[in-house]
Amino acid sequence: MQRAKRQFLKSLAAACATAPLVPGFIRQALARSETGYPRLVQGPMLGAVEPERARIWMRGSGRFPVAVRYGLTPELSDAQISPAVEVGADGDYVARIELDGLQPGTRYYYRPYVNGDPGKYMESTPAFSFATAPAQGKPARFRLGFGSCARWQEFPVQPIWQALARWSPDLFFWLGDNIYADTLERGIMSDLYKIQRSVPEYQLFGSQVPQLAIWDDHDYGLNNHDRENPAREDSHALFQRFWANPAYGNAETPGVFFHYDYGGVDFFLLDNRYHRSPNADPDGPDKTMLGEGQKNWLKRLLKASRSPFKMLVIGGGWSHNPDAFGEDNWTSYRHERDELFNFIRDEGIEGVILMSGDVHRAEANCIPWSEHGGYDLFELVSSGLAQDTGIPELIETPEVRLREPYTGGHNAGVVEFDLTVEDPVVRFNAINITGQTVWDDPVEIRASQLRNGVVSWREQVDPELVNPRRD
| Percentage with pLDDT > 90 across the chain | 89
Which pLDDT score is estimated for 194? Answer: 98
Which pLDDT score is estimated for 19? Answer: 43
Model confidence pLDDT, tens digit, residues 346-405 = 999 999 999 999 999 999 999 999 999 999 999 999 999 999 999 999 999 999 999 999
Which pLDDT score is estimated for 34? Answer: 58
Model confidence pLDDT, tens digit, residues 290-335 = 999 999 999 999 999 999 999 999 999 999 999 999 999 999 999 9
Q: If pLDDT is split at 50, 70 and 90, which confidence band does 468 have?
A: confident
**330 and 358 Cβ atoms separated by less than 8 Å:** no
Model confidence pLDDT, tens digit, residues 29-66 = 434 445 688 999 999 999 999 999 999 999 999 999 99
- Mean pLDDT rounded to a whole number for the chain: 93
pLDDT of 2 strictly over 70: no
pLDDT of 469 strictly over 90: no
3-state secondary structure the chain: CHHHHHHHHHHHHHHHHCCCCCCHHHHHHHHHHHHCCCCEEEEEEEEEEECCEEEEEEEECCCCEEEEEEECCCCCCCCEECCCEECCHHHCCEEEEEEECCCCCCEEEEEEEECCEECCCCCCCCCEEEECCCCCCCCCEEEEEEECCECCCCCCCCCHHHHHHHHCCCEEEECCCCCCCCCCCHHHHHHHHHHHHCCHHHHHHHHHCCEEECCCHHHHCCCCCCCCCCCHHHHHHHHHHHCCCCCCCCCCCCCCCEEEEECCEEEEECCCCCCCCCCCCCCCCCCCCCCHHHHHHHHHHHHHCCCCCEEEECCCCCCCCHHHCCCCCHHHHHHHHHHHHHHHHHCCCCCEEEEECCCCCEEEEEECHHHHCCCCEEEEECCCCECCCCCCCHHHCCCEECCCCECCCCCEEEEEEECCCCCCEEEEEEECCCCCECCCCCEEEEHHHCCCCCCCHHHHCCCCCCCCCCC
Which pLDDT score is estimated for 33? Answer: 46
Which pLDDT score is estimated for 338? Answer: 98
Model confidence pLDDT, tens digit, residues 399-409 = 999 999 999 99
Q: If pLDDT is split at 50, 70 and 90, which confidence band does 247 have?
A: very high
Which pLDDT score is estimated for 121? Answer: 84
Which pLDDT score is estimated for 9? Answer: 38
**What domains can be seen in the chain, in order of their start residue?**
2-30 (no CATH), 46-131 (2.60.40.380), 141-460 (3.60.21.70)
Indicate the pTM of the whole model.
0.92
Model confidence pLDDT, tens digit, residues 396-455 = 999 999 999 999 999 999 999 999 999 999 999 999 999 999 999 999 999 999 999 999
Model confidence pLDDT, tens digit, residues 165-213 = 999 999 999 999 999 999 999 999 999 999 999 999 999 999 999 999 9
pLDDT of 109 strictly over 80: yes
